Amino acid sequence: MRKQLEEIQKSALETIRSANLAADLESLRVKYLGKKGALTAVLKQMGKLSAEERPVIGQLANAVREELTEAIARQSKLLEQAAMEAKLAAEVVDVTIPGTPVTVGHRHPMSLVLEEAEDIFIGMGFQIVEGPEVELADYNFTRLNTPEGHPARDWQDTFYLTEDGSVLLRTQTSPVQVHVMEQQKPPIRIVSPGRVYRKDEVDATHSPMFHQIEGLVVDKGITMADLKGTLEVFVQRLYGAGTKIRFRPHHFPFTEPSCEVDVQCFECQGAGCRVCKGEGWIELLGAGMVHPKVLEGCGIDTDLYSGFAFGIGVERMTMRRFSISDLRLIFENDMRFLSQF
Ligand code: PHE
């Protein structure tokens, strides 16, 4: 029996140590130590032994049981560790592998300048309002003192949407003036940015779609000095304190007197070059005192109130701000150009 026990011990230890799965270990435990196991089978024969042999074999059997129990526990622990190590190795993150670059977009230069401009006007107490791009000829022209027969109303200049010419793509943001004066009572102080459309051929300074910012101030005692002061502060805040602008007399049907405002050429600083067509100045906006006919048409008492208005070309403003010499670059969406801003 001693021999039997020693054989069980030897073969059991060997198989336990080579077990690779937790499930195998469990069946080994049953095979050797279970109720119907090998060890129990041996112990069942104890009755055949002599009184002297019995305690000796009993001790040996217990020692074998303990040894096998321990061996199973040890092997089970080893298997657990190995499984954990394998898991860690499989899940390892190599922080030295170069990442996949994520291309993050950014604002278009036009949007950047538009936001700057809006901030400056908000800082001066203006409200931002929006107007429709599809407009009635009545608002775009007639109510802006631009009657039938005016050259701006020619089908060669304007995109009409109806045969009778009553609906069009607005040619300027000025109709917003009328919308605002219909809805608000003075004091009015608004700017309105947006797209406008004209039948222009594309070149370095023209596009059939471009952007304007309309400005309108109506209150008691507003004069041309308020217009000049407002625009001077705006231009200096946008382009820097030293920026030179000039006011030229001009004509718009809906302002009287009217002017155009030029900013010194960014390319040649006034010397004259290709960008400013040799003039040294670049036209930036049209402006003037709101024509009494326009005010009265919106029910505003011209004995009490006066106002000024202006319309800034946003593309020109952007070109001046970033020294861009061709308008087409703004709309081509070439990443080599856009990524510079
Ligand atoms: N709407 C004019 C234009 O498009 C600009 C302007 C706006 C002029 C407001 C005077 C007052 O040229």
Q: Which CATH number characterizes residue 196's domain? A: 3.30.930.10
Residue pair 12/29 in contact (Cβ under 8 Å)? The answer is: no
CA distances (Å), origin 234, targets 29, 30, 108, 145, 240: 89, 91, 21, 28, 10
Q: Does 40 reside within a domain? A: yes
**65 pLDDT higher than 90:** no
Same domain (yes/no): 163, 206:
yes
- Backbone phi, psi, residue 255, to 5°: -130, 150
Q: Is the pLDDT of residue 199 over 80?
A: yes
Q: Do residues 41 and 76 share a domain? A: yes
Average pLDDT over residues 13-42: 86
Q: Determine if ligand 1 sits within 6 Å of the CB of residue 286.
A: yes
Q: Are residues 16 and 165 in the same domain?
A: no
Q: How many domains does the chain have?
A: 2
Residue 103 belongs to a domain: no
Q: Which amino acid is at 300?
A: I
Q: What pTM was estimated for this model as a whole?
A: 0.71
Distance CA 118, CA 130 (A): 12
Give backbone dihedrals phi and psi of 308, rounded to 5 degrees, phi first: -125, 160
Which pLDDT does position 186 carry in this prediction?
Answer: 96
Residue 238: pLDDT above 80?
yes
The pLDDT > 70 percentage for the chain reads 100
Distance of CA 151 to the CA centre of its chain: 42
Q: Are 128 and 122 in contact (CB under 8 A)?
A: yes
For residue 52, give its domain range.
Answer: 2-90
Q: Are 271 and 161 part of one and the same domain? A: yes
Q: Which of 7-21, 100-114, 249-263, 276-290 has the lowest mean pLDDT?
A: 7-21
Distance of CA 223 to the CA centre of its chain: 41
- 3-state SS string for the chain: CHHHHHHHHHHHHHHHHHCCCHHHHHHHHHHHHCCCCHHHHHHHHHHHCCCCHHHHHHHHHHHHHHHHHHHHHHHHHHHHHHHHHHHHHHCCCCCCCCCCCCCCCCCCHHHHHHHHHHHHHHHCCCEECCCCCEEEHHHHCHHHCCCCCCHHHCCCCCCECCCCCCEEECCCCCHHHHHHHHHCCCCEEEEEEEEEECCCCCECCECCEEEEEEEEEEECCCCHHHHHHHHHHHHHHHHCCCCCEEEEEEEECCEEEEEEEEEECCCCCCCCCCCCCCCCEEEEEEEEEECHHHHHHCCCCCCCCEEEEEEEEHHHHHHHHHCCCCCHHHHHCCHHHHCCC
Residue 98, in any domain of the structure: no
171-180 average pLDDT score = 98
227 with 333, same domain: the answer is yes
Q: Is the pLDDT of residue 215 over 90?
A: yes
> For residue 32, which phi and psi values (nearest 5 degrees)?
-95, -40
Top mean pLDDT of 40-44, 101-105, 264-268 is at 101-105
In this structure, which residue's CA is closest to atom 7 in ligand 1? 311
| pLDDT greater than 90 at residue 188 | yes
Residues 269-294: pLDDT tens digits? Answer: 889 888 788 999 989 999 999 999 99
Does 58 have pLDDT greater than 90?
no
For residue 104, tell me if it sits in a domain.
Answer: no
**Of 32, 57, 90, which closes a domain?**
90
54 falls within a domain: yes
Ligand 1 site-directed mutation target among 172, 314, 317, most atoms within 8 Å of CB: 172
**Do 124 and 186 fall into the same domain?**
yes
Give the C-alpha separation, 202 to 182, whole Å.
Answer: 35
Nearest alpha carbon, ligand 1 atom 12: 286
Distance 195 CA to ligand 1 centre (A): 14
* Pairwise CA distance, residues 275 & 264, whole Å: 11
Is there a domain that residue 147 lies in?
yes
Residues 178 and 326 in one domain: yes
Residue 79 sits in the same domain as residue 228: no
Question: Among 55, 90, 125, where does a domain finish?
Answer: 90
* Claim to verify: residue 169 and residue 239 sit in the same structural domain: yes
Query: Among 150, 252, 261, 295, which residue has the most ligand 1 atoms within 8 Å of its CB, making it the best to mutate?
Result: 252
Mean pLDDT for 117-132 is 97
Percent of the chain with pLDDT over 90: 56
Cα within 13 Å of Cα(129), Cβ side: 23
φ, ψ at 103 (rounded to 5°): -85, 115
Task: Copy the structure tokens of residue 275.
Answer: 């960008």
Ligand 1 contact via 313 beta carbon (within 6 Å): no
Do 20 and 127 sit in the same domain of this protein? Answer: no
C-beta of residue 88 within 8 angstroms of C-beta of residue 317: no
Residues 54 and 149 in one domain: no
Residues whose CB is less than 8 angstroms from the CB of residue 296 and which lie 6 or more positions away in sequence, other chains included: 302
Cβ of 140 less than 6 Å from ligand 1: no
Shared domain check, 265 and 150 = yes
Rounded distance from Cα 77 to ligand 1 centre (Å): 86
User: In this predicted structure, what is the pLDDT of residue 49?
Assistant: 83
Question: Cα separation of 291 and 308, whole Å?
Answer: 9
- How many angstroms is it from 229 CA to the middle of ligand 1? 18
Residue 258 in any domain: the answer is yes
Given 30, 62, 90, the domain boundary residue is: 90
**Average pLDDT score, the chain:** 92
Cα–Cα distances (Å) from 298 to 186, 218, 293, in that order, read 11, 12, 9
Is the CB of 288 within 6 Å of ligand 1?
yes
Residue 239 placed within a domain = yes
